[in-house]
Chains A and B, each alone.
Chain A
Amino acid sequence: MPQQFIARVVHADPVLPANTIVRLAVPAGVAAAAVPGQFLMLQSGGRDPLLPRPYSIMRATRAAREGGEEGTLDLLVFTGGRGGNHLAEARAGDPFPILGPLGNGYAIDGRMRRALLIAVGHGIAPIIALAESALARGVEVVMLVGAPTAASLLPLPLLPEEAEIIVATADGSRGHHGAVTDLVANYIEWTDAIYAYAPETTYVALRETLRGYRGARAIPPVQAAMERSMACGMGVCLGCVVETTSGLKTVCRDGPIFPLDALVLG
């Protein structure tokens, strides 16, 4: 159940020229309830921009504190836009009205032993949350991380240590020269499930790769995140819909995570 609350900025650390990690102090119940793949709507509190902005939860922690428990949530913020800049320029103690956690989040099957995680762009934030959660349950994790250049990749210490991380850059400046989906074929037989947070073009390529598989194993199920501009985050404005095999669904409430098989991609 989402809550409306005022978060306080603990710190905002620029980690790359275009990325800031913002740590927010939130009610312990909010941090406890958060599932990887869920997001928050960060409101401007009556200032510009008018509409709240969705941000994925990158990390949720709970800590004992005098007089009770406190939670923190880390967000990875890409700067450049108005909402992103507003957040990244925040200082310790600044209040942010927030609605969340919202959306369904990724589902982790209790019997899963191995997981292939695919992250492109700011998709790395929810994929980090998912990797940490899966690792904590003893799941083996391989992360395929895609970025335009080496310079836009998050520094390694920010990624989960126990996951195997494989990088692809569009310009070849680090790791595989090309798209993350070029690497998926190597893992179809290895993994029990695939989790992705990437642009739709990646999903189209992923689907082709999986359809092209001619081996003996069943194709692993894929959970993929969709994004749309949002207004309410509560499933009421119907501004964020995507086409699925069972009709239109809202990204904010029915998603953002959908089975790849259910998505009708444009």
Chain B
Amino acid sequence: MTQVTSGVQDTAIPGGGAGPDLRVDLAPHNARELILRNPILAASGTFGYGTEYSGLLDVQALGAIVSKGVTYRRRRGAPMPRIAETPAGMLNAIGLQNPGIKGVIAKYPPIWSRWAVPVIVNLAGDSVAEFAEMAAILDEVTGVAGLELNVSCPNVAAGGMFFGCDPDLAAEVTAAVRAATSLPVIVKLTPNVTDIVTIARAVVDAGADSLSLINTLLGMAIDTHRRRPVLGNLMGGLSGPATKPIAVRMVYQVAGAVEVPIIGLGGIATLEDALEFFMAGATAVQVGTATFANPVAMPTILDGLSQWLAREGFSSVREIIGLANERVLARAAEAQ
């Protein structure tokens, strides 16, 4: 059977109870580890800081939670309207409204540190220095299990160029964060590039423990009645089911090219969707927009995954990673 990630076996936490083993390792080469009980994560910006949905679903049963994007200073965010529904998707331009890193640290890590579910903090810097500074601040904060770098934001210092669109800039951010913290570092890739594989390779070489993809696709909608763009920010990020085929394709390409674990996301709403990502080469998945349409989408996918694996005769979710991806399969065979 294919074994793409190996850390879970090596660290040998005895597989708890009956049913397939759902554990995945998102930082196999990092001493601080990021081993999740299961591979279903809440995506950044769609689950707040983890506290908001606690009465509606068993938040502790998720694989991990990725926080709303945090910036160095507090941000007011974009002008309204900030969201627009589109066919099988939605556009958002929230503009990273958040209380800033100090505000977040004062409020949430004390809560997170009491939780069983790991919380990964999503960071959005205006400059390489800001990314590194935030990573250094979070390095010793109890309750923070890892970092996810949102390199889709514009680099103010470099004239607003997007970090994630340039392999050198993306690598520079990754290396700076790597040097500032020993926490597991996930780099979240933007799909708004010509060649995502080049960016993926660059950030892996710069020290990323794993990659998450994809962030939203840059899009736009026009209100024909008002004869103006719908969003206050004019353009916004497209998410939801409409984006899934693009996300699956990118996960497939990147998983074939790099050896670190891939966290797949983009339009996942059902078990079937999640399975596509695993088979394309993802080690874990994140669910975003689907939670808005159905707050219990994640627990439903998780239950379904467990049952599906058992029914199909798999003893671990790790056995299905890359099943539809020749390159991942070949690499796994070589490693045996």
Interface residues of A (CB under 8 A from B): 1-4, 43-46, 48-52, 97, 99, 228-242, 248
Contacts and interface: CB of A to CB of B under 8 A. Distances in A.
Contact of A232 (B84, B270, B291): B291
A237 B292 contact: yes
B56 to A, nearest CB: 5
14 contacts: A1-B55, A2-B56, A43-B294, A46-B294, A50-B85, A50-B240, A51-B90, A99-B295, A229-B84, A237-B94, A238-B68, A238-B82, A239-B82, A248-B76
Interface stretch (B40-48, B192-200, B205-213, B253-261): B40-48
B94 A238 contact: yes
A248 B82 CA distance: 13
Interface of B: 45-48, 52-53, 55-57, 68, 76-77, 80-85, 87-90, 92, 94, 97, 240-241, 269-270, 289, 291-296
Nearest to A52: B293
A141 to B, nearest CB: 33
Nearest to A232: B292
B55 A51 contact: no
- Please classify the interface of chain A as helix (H, G, I), strand (E, B), loop, or mixed, using the class held by over half of its residues: loop
A43 B56 CA distance: 15
Contact of A235 (B52, B82, B87): B52
Contact of B68 (A3, A51, A228, A236): A236
Nearest to B81: A229
Contacts of A43: 293-294
A49 B83 contact: no
Given A4-B296, A241-B82, A50 B48 contact: no
A67 B46 CA distance: 39
Contacts of B289: 50, 231
A242 B46 CA distance: 19
Contacts of A45: 294
Contact of B83 (A52, A99, A231): A231
Contacts of B90: 50-51, 231
B77 A234 contact: no
A84 to B, nearest CB: 14
Contacts of A238: 68, 77, 82, 94, 97
Nearest to A247: B76
Contacts of B82: 238-241
A50 B84 CA distance: 11
The interface centre, meaning the residue of B82, B289, B294, B295 with most chain A CB atoms within 10 A of its CB, is B295
Contact of A241 (B80, B88, B240, B294): B80
A239 B92 contact: yes
Contacts of B292: 51-52, 231-233, 237
Nearest to B85: A51
Given A43-B293, A235-B52, A236-B52, A48 B94 contact: no
